[in-house]
Amino acid sequence: MFFYIPELTLWHLHSLSSPGSYLAGLPSWPATPVLCAEVVLHSLGVIAIILQLHSTLTVFLQAVMCNPACNVLVTGASGLLGRAVCAVLRKAGHAVKGLAFSRAGPGLIKCDLTDLEAVRLVIEKEKPNFIIHTAAQRFPDVVETQYEETRILNIKSAENIASLAHQIKCKMIHISTDYVFDGTSPPYKVGDKCNPLSKYGLTKLESEEAVLAAAPDACVLRIPVLYGPVERLEESAVTCLLNILKSREPKAVSHHDQRCPAHVRDIAHILADMIALIAKGQNLSGIYQWSGREKLTKYEMTLTMARVFSLPHDHVTPSMDASPLRPYDPEMDVSRLTELGISHHTKFEEAIKECLSAWL
């Protein structure tokens, strides 16, 4: 933003700082039409400067008021989504602290979320305005074999965080999943009946209920399968498909289940927009949903990767077998967010090239 500011002379400054009228600061020269015109011009110049400075200050204050910085605590900050959330929120000007446990690296607070007392101490110390709860066991196959341990992390920990957040009047946004639906009647609205097919989906549904019972003003954000800048290809159910292309070994990939993948950066921007609205006083609570705006099977995702990176794919074949643990088509209605002006989607072909170029 650039401004033209007329030159200020010592005479202007003396006149502005002296008591009395502007004219009282003028030298006692004879009043002539020329002198009067000069006085008027100088006066208009000073007034223009004052108005311009006032306008600039007003714009600055409005920007600050519209985007107030908040203290945000992010759980699961070492994970695929957590890393993106921390990065986007910091870029938006928020003070962000990240919690992690098994992969707690530099700049992160190590905290076992299943240790309820440890979590309480961290929250009381950090005093966040917002808690974004991304941490969970999110791999359905793992949950099937580690169900009781998963219930503690996915349900009990979420309930505990919600209760602590509510006590200190901190807004919690809890991340959930489209796996709460059975995939038979898309697109699913927020109030549609849930019917999870897997123990993973069940733990996330029960976590939603526990969070909203402990903190009725909390938000739940249901999201689809995610991908983004991974630390290892297996970190995402999408990016791991690149291993199939690289291996050159014959492989059948699902062409049955429909997915609406979302880039983690898009989800992070959605969360940032939600925080901005809440910080400005808008009342957001209850369940919100986001699905990527493209519907693809894993086989179609694999072919897209092959096309983007010019990789052979004749060893990859489509499978029409249904998975008993995964919904056929869990596409969700996103209108509750779009009605707030919140919508972020990066085209899959562009985003997957960005994410995976370094792995080739």
Residues serving a catalytic function are 200
CB atoms within 10 A of CB 148: 6
Length of the chain, in residues: 360
Interacting residues of 40 by C-beta distance below 8 A, sequence separation 6+: none
Class of residue 281 by CB neighbours under 10 A (exposed 0-12, middle 13-18, buried 19+): exposed
DSSP string for 213-260:
HH-TT-EEEEE--EE-S-SSGGGSTTTTHHHHHHH-S-EEEESSS-B-
Q: What are phi and psi of 221, to 5 degrees?
A: -120, 110
CB 164 within 8 A of CB 123: yes
Alpha carbon of 258 to those of 68, 80, 298: distances in Å? 39, 22, 8
Displacement of CA 280 from its chain's centroid (Å): 17
194-226 core/surface letters (b: 16 or more CB in 10 A; e: else): bebbbbbbbbbbbbbebbbebbebbbbbbbbbb
Which structure tokens are listed for 35? 């002198």
Class of residue 37 by CB neighbours under 10 A (exposed 0-12, middle 13-18, buried 19+): exposed
Q: What angle do CA 321, 323, 325 make, to 5 degrees?
A: 175
- The half-sphere exposure of 265 on its side-chain side, counting CA atoms within 13 A, is 14
Which structure tokens are listed for 314? 């004749």
